[in-house]
Structure 1
Amino acid sequence: MSSGQQEHEDYPVRDEQNEAELQESEAGDEMKPVKIPPRPKRRPRKRKFVAGLLAAVLPGAGHLYLGLLRKGITFIFLLLLDIMALLYFSSIGMQINVPLLILLALLIPVMYFYNVFDALQAADRILRFPEEHDPEDGEDIKSAASARRRVRITEPGISFGVMLLAGGVLLFLFRQKPPWLQAFIENSAGAAAAVLLIGLGVLMGIREVAKNMMARAGKERRSRRIGRYTASATLAAVGTLLFLDWSYGTDDMMLLLKWWPVIPVLWGIEYLLIYLFSRRSKPGGTVRRARMDLRGLISAIVLAACVFIVTEQEHYLHLWNRVSLNLTAAAVDYGEAEGHQFEKPPLVVPVELNTSKVSIDAINGDILIHRAAVEDIEIKATVWVDQLDGVLAEAIADQSFVEVSEGTTIKITPQSKAYGESGKRQPRINLDISLPEDRRFDLNVRTMNGGITLQNVEAIADISLETGNGELILHRIFGNVKGKTLNGAVRARNVLGDVELGTSGGDMSAWEVSGAMKLSTAVGNIKAYDSGDAVDVSTKNGNVEVAGARAKLHAESLNGRIHVRSADFGGDWEVYSAVGDIELFLPLTGNYTVEGSSGYGDITTDLPGLVIDKKLISGQIGTGEFKLRVDGNSNLNVSKY
């Protein structure tokens, strides 16, 4: 091949047609705009350490830093609401519910540490999916999986607005402290809590059913949650029991102590049913998976337990009383009624026409309240200062006085000057309070250390007594009385009204109580004579003696003898002694049936109509309208009265 031919092949000559096409192509390229790919939007990388540090400094701040505005505001708002509720319930005049205050106080550290934990978890999720996480501005999400991740992170919904609305109203009410709110809490809080629990339980169940139906129809992809129906049933059951107690004055909530094992049973049944149904393939060939709903079930159990603790504190008085009455015991040293005695000038408190209540809150000293021939309330205070002499003792007495506030509720508060080497010793201030004979007042009396005595007192409706260390003595009282002491004897005589008294350590005696009588002690003997209504007496370690029970009777002793005698039988009787003989003296004429047993002792009777069969006794007197149930492990003697 020649050099000319090679040059012709390496550099072909463009003809006119090729030249025209080339010019047309170049012209088209000039007219067409050039697309430059957009620069990827970079977000500032949220640091996990910074989020955790901010959450530890201020609850909710870590979530705000991560862009989770709703969660951050929720933590801040709930913490503020809890603190306001704690301050409100500890400052209002009604009797403090100590379990409620303790639970509100415990919520603060719980929310704090959960806030730190959740902030760290949210930071991990955001760092794992940074390009898909945009919690607030509502940008498009790339895929369905990304959308599900976004829902798990941001949890949008109507609940945030409801929380702000309801919480804001509560904050306003806690700050303003309207009188009607206190009345509502005292009278209707149980019903309101019951309705909320029932509504929440029913709503959880309906919502779960609706979502499962949508998933079955293919409108929503979700797995079954095992435990949601059990949580729903738990809340609804607790709410129902609470409503029954509020409506009829029963103690149905105490059934939870016996029936709580039903919760794992229901959970197991739910697990098995959902497991079996989840194994069935859908028409498309897919299988719906199931997952544990631990958060929902545990939340329901914790909520139910909190409601039980708050509402049933009266059934473990010896425990909560010790907490309530000794909140400041570690910081107080009580002076005795010895040393130097100083009589304070009498105080005269004018009584208005609308004055209906007298409230006394003391720290150290006996309190005597009685009616006398006076027009207004008169207060005589006696100050005892021990361990000091001369001018020092007189100075302490001069700085100790009784503070009084007037109005519809007269508040009497002894103010004492602490002294001693530790600076915590409180002088003893004994009060002698005279009430007008022509007036009635409801009473609320509380002292940390000292006895309370009421003589010839008439109340409009209720009398409340509470002492940490001292006797409770009642004589010739008109009104319903509730009283408790941690360490001291209790005596009540000639009371026109219901009586509910308790002590952790001390003997108890009651005579001629016209209304229902309830006496309970941890260590001590109980005597109850001539009651006009139901009698409920119980002791953990002591003897029980009941005479003249005319209506319903419940007598119980875990370690002690029980002796009951009555000429009437007008209600159902329950008698039980774990360790101790039982002696019953029953009327020959009456309408009752007898059923009893003795585990290890002998059974004897001289009452016709009763049959003894080994360790059992049974029979019927008259028509058998009422029932007597007696059980024990020692000797049982049933005799005619």
Structure 2
Amino acid sequence: MRMTWKRLITSASLAAVLMYMGIADGGSAGARPLSEADFESATAQASVSAPAAAVSLETTGKKTGTGYSFDKGITRVSLPAGTQSVSIANTNGTIEIKQGNVKEMEVHMTVNVHQANSDEAKAVADKAGMKVSKGADLEIRTYSESYGNWRYPSLDLTVTLPQGIKAELQAETENGNLSLSKVSSTGRIELAAVNGNISASGIGNALKLHTVNGNVQVSEAKNRVEVTLTNGNVKAEQIAGALTLKATNGNLSVKDALAAVEAVTVAGNIHVKSRKVGGDWKVTTAVGDVELAWPGNAGVVVDAESAFEEIETDFPLTVKNHRASGKLGAGTYQIRAKSMAGLSLMKN
């Protein structure tokens, strides 16, 4: 069963701003924490709980600055040829995903218990683990129990995927960061965090990233990338496929996007600089500045508008009444920009 996505914010004022700016397109899909219903199988599936399937368990925790850390070992999960998707859900803690020279998927878990003595910390760690539900849609979910004044441990996962995996990949955290690196052979990838940062680099297939409160950094992506967030900044570099960035409160920074670019934020600055224009650019901010830079020999049609400030440019464009327009070269692609504040169109 695949991870489901729902709208996290619905705001009349936000919709009004988007409509005014001409960028409302139905909104961006958000992520929600997975519920028990998401893990109910419509068909009979085999389930195992870790650490029963793990190795190298640590019986005594390591003292940390705020508590104790327990190494729960590695759980190995087979991925049959018919596996269509892999979903990983973690409530409190990080998820790190990579691809390596392994025959099965390996999940290494560390349990961190804060503000507890050694005996209490061990008891808490003993009750934490993960549940694996196998089937065409393989699902991994962590579990733990509260302690003290309604505290919960954090469970950090390091997931190593085998080479050649074709299944789609979804991963979600409620409170924790997500990182993905050098994964080239999976199907579509979706990462979501409620409170946490997301980083992805060296990814071969289509990528969809969402966070409510956190920053997103993506680089060396060979396919299309879609990023949505509520509060946080986005930094995207070396994106070969179409790039879509949508934020409510946050700055958007793009370097070397080689295909189409759509960058939209309600409150924040947008900076796009690329050594090549390989698709249409659409850049809009309601409250913030826009800075665009592209090669002087690119063939584009420009239509840019600033509500209150004069437009800066070193291109041979017609600039009048806070608007810049014109055809450069063959005019193969369109560059459209709109800002309520400063707007700069410069040669890269």
Q: Which has the higher helix share?
A: 1
Residue from 501, 504, 527 that aligns with 2:230? 504
Q: What per-residue deviation string (whole Å, max 9, x for no partner) do you get for residues 67-102 of structure 1?
A: xxxxxxxxxxxxxxxxxxxxxxxxxx2333546xxx
Q: Are the structure 2 counterparts of residues 629 and 457 from structure 1 closer, same or farther at C-alpha, using a change threshold of 3 Å? A: closer
User: CA-to-partner distance for each residue in 1:272-331, whole Å, 9 max, x for gaps?
Assistant: xxxxxxxxxxxxxxxxxxxxxxxxxxxxxxxxxxxxxxx94xx154xx65xx34989xxx
> Given that residues 234 and 251 in structure 2 are in contact (C-alpha distance below 8 angstroms), is that contact kept between their aligned partners in structure 1?
yes
Contact 1:598 1:631 in 2 (8 A): yes
Structure with greater proportional strand content: 2
Distance 2:326 2:241 in 1: 30
Tell me, yes or no, if the aligned pair for 1:547 and 1:566 is still in contact at 8 Å: yes
Asked if 1 retains the 8 angstrom alpha-carbon contact of 2:93 and 2:176, the reply is yes
Q: Find the residue that maps to 2:73 and give its secondary structure.
A: coil
Structure 1 residue 604: Cα displacement: 4.8
Determine if contact 2:271/2:291 at 8 Å carries over to the other structure: yes
Counterparts of 1:111-510 in structure 2, within 5 Å, are 312=26, 315-317=27-29, 321=31, 324-325=32-33, 338-421=66-149, 424-510=150-236
Q: Deviations over 1:422-471 (max 9, x none)?
A: xx432111011111124343111112111111111134431111111111
For residue 516 of structure 1, what is the aligned residue in structure 2?
Answer: 242
Residue 556 of structure 1 pairs with residue 284 of structure 2 = yes
Distance 1:326 1:378 in 2: 22
Structure 2 CA distance for aligned equivalents of residues 366 and 605 of structure 1? 44
Structure 2: unaligned runs, 5 residues or longer: 8-14, 20-24, 37-63
Unaligned runs of 5+ in 1: 1-92, 100-253, 259-310, 329-335, 568-586
Alpha-carbon distance in 1 for matches of 2:323, 2:77: 63
Give the direction of change, closer, same or farther, for the CA distance of 1:544–1:381 in structure 2 (3 Å limit). Answer: same
Find the aligned partners of 1:401 and 1:416 in 2 and give their Cα distance: 7
Contact 2:211-2:230 within 8 A present in 1 as well: yes
- Per-residue deviation, 1:623: 4.8
CA distance in structure 2 between the partners assigned to 1:438 and 1:353 by the alignment: 11
Decide whether aligned partners of structure 1 residues 560 and 390 sit closer, same or farther in structure 2, where only a CA change above 3 A counts.
same
Bigger radius of gyration among the two: 1
Cα drift, residue 487 of structure 1:
1.0
Aligned residue pair count: 308
Normalising by structure 2, we get a TM-score of 0.78
Amino acid at match of 1:378: E
TM-superposed CA distance for 1:596, in Å, is 4.1
Aligned equivalents of 2:127 and 2:347: distance in 1? Answer: 64
Aligned-pair identity (%): 27
Contact 1:550–1:566, Cα closer than 8 Å, also in 2: no
| TM-score with structure 1 setting the length | 0.44
Distance 1:460 1:98, change over 3 A: same
Q: CA deviation at 1:408?
A: 2.8
Contact map agreement 1:359 1:443 (CA 8 A) in 2: yes
How far apart are the structure 2 equivalents of 1:436 and 1:625?
A: 42
Q: Partner of 2:4 in structure 1?
A: 96
Cα drift, residue 550 of structure 1: 2.5
Q: 1:560 to 1:396 in 2, by over 3 A?
A: same
- Three-state SS of the structure 1 residue aligned to 2:124 is helix
TM-superposed CA distance for 1:398, in Å, is: 0.7
For 1:628 and 1:350, locate their aligned partners in 2 and report how far apart those are by CA, in whole Å: 48
SS where residue 121 of structure 2 aligns?
helix
- The CA distance in 2 between the partners of 1:327 and 1:559, in whole Å, is 36
Higher relative contact order (CA 8 A, sep 6+): 2
2:281–2:336 CA contact under 8 A, matched in 1: no
Other structure's SS at 2:123 match: helix
> Following the alignment from structure 1 to structure 2, what is the Cα–Cα distance between the partners of residues 96 and 436?
25
Structure 2 match to 1:528: 254
In 2 relative to 1, CA 501–418 (structure 1 residues): closer, same or farther, beyond 3 Å? same
Letter of the structure 2 residue corresponding to residue 94 of structure 1: R
